[in-house]
Amino acid sequence: MLTKRIIPCLDIKNGRTVKGVNFIDLRDAGDPVELAAAYAEKGADELVFLDISATEEKRKTLAKLVLDVAEQLNIPFTVGGGISSVEDVDILLKNGADKVSINSSAVKNPDLINQLSDKFGSQCVVVAIDAKNIDGKWKVHLVGGKVPTDLDLFEWAKEVELRGAGEILFTSMDHDGTKNGFANEALARLSEELNIPIIASGGAGNIQHFQDTFQKGKADAALAASVFHFKEIEISDLKNQLKTAGIPVRI
């Protein structure tokens, strides 16, 4: 059985790590380079770096900061935010990223998924999907959750897989930053309907939430930010408890 992955997420704004609730009310969480080095040392399986205001501000991801972070890491590193072309990805990979995450640009130009998968391989392409449950239907949102669409989460996820994405990073906007647990029902459906790994994001508040998302949500990986940044959960404690619960993790 494949090991379940624990992935800290660095949400970057103005060169600093930030964290909010339901995508708003951001507060400072520290220097991204220092945090990256600490997570690599503490046993994180991967690291995700999201330049959360790049799309809204219509600019490219901070390539120099990506390079600085990558130099601290010996684990897979995914970078997202403001990516809209093959050239953007080429720069980020040359600066040390192992994978890229695309979100709004994939919805606006679905062929971008095909282009990136063809050029760099599907293992390099993560499609992030931010969705909100509206009247019982999960609707995809863009630009850091600010722009609603009529796209259905599950239909879009299936298209993303067909176009060559290697993984899906699903963030429930309803759960983000609330620390009330992940959207396990939606995650389980995604895992059942798709063949590529699903990364759970949004809602981690305690160790039981991680256990639930692996067991009930059938997630392949769990991503979190504030519980790690503010040392509410130590990765070593989390992994030891998951292992005790019979969940395969890399210790």
Rounded Cα gap, residues 142 and 182, in angstroms: 20
**Residue 25 CB partners (closer than 8 Å, separation 6+):** none
5-13/221-224 β-pairing? parallel
Distances in Å between the Cα of 67 and the Cα atoms of 48, 95, 226 are 14, 5, 23
Reading the block at residue 108, the tokens are 């606006």
Which stretch of DSSP H or E encloses residue 159?
Answer: helix 153-162
φ, ψ of residue 24 to 5 degrees: the values are -135, -175
Q: Is 130 known to be catalytic?
A: yes
By CB atoms closer than 10 A (0-12, 13-18, 19+), residue 64 is exposed
Cβ of 14: how many Cβ atoms within 10 Å? Answer: 10
Q: Which residues pair with 7 in a beta bridge?
A: 223
Catalytic residue among 51, 130, 176, 212: 130
The DSSP secondary-structure symbol of 165 reads: -
Q: Could you give the residue numbers annotated as active site?
A: 11, 130
